[in-house]
């Protein structure tokens, strides 16, 4: 049976780990190939011996880690290598990168080591092509998926939207400080904001909340479904988000989700996510005010569009890369 090794160097809870858990446990993916999650040291992926027909990188690319990727390519010269880009997007570059020419040189150099690069959203894929860091024929878009059954099983809110939820790591990426300020501008004393997650921004966020009793910091939720069950709608004011798995889960739970629309969050609009009309605290306040008092069902599509099967998409990708590898071997033998 075909063996696929998925390399990861960050096992902290989050969207990537939930996606990898799904890849390893989904029956359709298991029928496609034997899926193995391999934890490797940061910047030294070649230090772990891997026996697989295809190796898939879920690693964050960096200049410090580039020699490690080169070693990985050299050690597995005859094995197809695929990289899934979970980290970088247009929003990431706008918020974090000043030496942009150097950064795009890094991506272009690293991606050239792989047979295929997988973008996790159509928006991210368009950005990678526009920046000319990957060859069009080497790029595939496969949106992450997880088991949504437990989210679909959550009871739908029985009344109008009164409780907003924010779910994710508390750091600058998520823009939760904008959300706290925007929520405090809403005057209705019956409204609530519940923030699920932990991280370096928690102290700052609590200070911005300034003791507003309507704002609760609930900490990390080991079972994400409990976080969605505790709110009527979800807000994602992210500064960058290559995909945004929370939006997929919220919609499956029957919770309207308000998104900044940056990067991969724009992909979720077709599934029913509500894009903000602008940026900043004032625009977020207006968007939340428009949601208040409405029944969640009013803000959700009547039918969720069907998603392409994950195993089908990976099967197409694997078939193409293995065919290319076989053709190369035949050409070398000739």
**All structural domains of the chain with their residue ranges:** 3-145+308-333, 149-299
Checking if the pLDDT of 304 tops 80, the result is: no
Checking if the pLDDT of 334 tops 70, the result is: no
Consecutive H or E run containing 193: strand 192-196
Q: Which residue has the higher pLDDT, 13 or 85?
A: 85
Phi, then psi, of 136 in degrees rounded to 5: -55, -40
The span from the CA of 321 to the CA of 64, in Å, is 28
| pLDDT tier at 328, thresholds 50, 70, 90 | low
Contacts 24+ apart (CB under 8 A), 184-187: 184/208, 184/209, 184/210, 184/212, 184/215, 185/281, 185/282, 185/285, 186/285, 186/288, 186/289, 186/292
Checking if the pLDDT of 285 tops 90, the result is: yes
What is the reported pTM? 0.94
pLDDT tens digit sequence for 25-72:
999 999 999 999 999 999 999 999 999 999 999 999 999 999 999 999
pLDDT number for residue 134: 98
**Strand order across the 274-275 sheet:** 215-219, 192-196, 163-167, 233-236, 257-259, 274-275
Using DSSP's 3-state secondary structure scheme, residue 298 falls into helix
What is the signed CA dihedral for 21, 24, 28, 32, rounded to 10 degrees?
150
Task: Round the average pLDDT of the chain to a whole number and report it.
Answer: 94
Q: Which residue has the higher pLDDT, 303 or 97?
A: 97
pLDDT tens digit sequence for 217-238:
999 998 999 999 999 999 999 9
Phi, then psi, of 27 in degrees rounded to 5: -60, -35
Question: Rounded to the nearest 5 degrees, what angle is found at the Cα of 218, between the Cα atoms of 214 and 222?
Answer: 155
pLDDT tens digit sequence for 238-283:
999 999 999 999 999 999 999 999 999 999 999 999 999 888 999 9
Distances (CA, A) of 181 to 20, 34, 97, 125, 162: 34, 47, 26, 33, 17
DSSP structure class, residue 171: S
Question: Rounded to the nearest 5 degrees, what angle is found at the Cα of 73, between the Cα atoms of 19 and 105?
Answer: 80
Same fold, 3-145+308-333 and 149-299: yes
pLDDT number for residue 98: 98
The span from the CA of 220 to the CA of 138, in Å, is 38
pLDDT number for residue 219: 94
Q: Report the CATH fold assignment for 149-299.
A: Rossmann fold (3.40.50)
pLDDT number for residue 330: 36
Answer whether CATH 3.40.50.2300 is correct for domain 3-145+308-333. no
């Amino acid at each position: 049976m075909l063996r696929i090794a998925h390399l990861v160097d960050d096992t902290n809870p989050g969207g990537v780990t939930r996606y990898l858990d799904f890849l390893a446990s989904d029956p359709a993916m298991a029928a496609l190939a034997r899926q193995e999650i391999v934890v490797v040291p940061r910047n030294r992926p070649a230090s772990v011996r891997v026996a697989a027909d295809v190796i898939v990188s879920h690693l964050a690319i960096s200049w410090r880690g580039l020699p490690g990727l080169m070693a990985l390519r050299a050690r597995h010269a005859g094995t197809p290598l695929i990289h899934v880009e979970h980290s970088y997007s247009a929003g990431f570059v706008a918020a974090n990168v000043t030496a942009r020419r150097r950064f795009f040189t890094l991506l272009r150099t690293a991606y050239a080591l792989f047979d295929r690069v997988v973008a996790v959203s159509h928006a991210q894929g368009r950005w990678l092509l526009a920046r000319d860091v990957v060859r069009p024929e080497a790029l595939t878009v496969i949106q992450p998926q997880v088991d949504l059954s437990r989210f679909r099983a959550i009871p739908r809110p029985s009344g109008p939207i009164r409780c907003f939820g924010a779910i994710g790591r508390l750091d600058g990426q998520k823009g939760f400080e904008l959300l706290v300020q925007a929520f405090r501008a809403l005057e209705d004393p019956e409204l609530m904001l519940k923030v699920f997650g932990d991280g370096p921004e928690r102290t700052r966020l609590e200070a911005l909340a300034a003791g507003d009793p309507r704002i609760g910091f609930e900490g990390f939720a080991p079972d994400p479904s409990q976080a969605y069950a505790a709110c009527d709608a979800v807000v994602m004011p992210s500064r960058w988000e290559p995909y945004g798995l929370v939006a997929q889960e919220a919609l499956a739970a029957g919770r309207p989700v308000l998104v900044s629309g940056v990067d991969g969050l724009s992909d979720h609009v077709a599934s029913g996510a509500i894009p903000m009309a602008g940026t900043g605290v004032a625009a977020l306040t207006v968007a939340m005010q428009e949601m208040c008092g409405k029944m969640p069902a009013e803000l959700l599509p009547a039918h969720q569009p069907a998603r392409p099967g994950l195993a089908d998409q990976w099967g197409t990708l694997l078939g193409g890369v293995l065919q290319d590898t076989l053709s190369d071997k035949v050409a070398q033998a000739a």
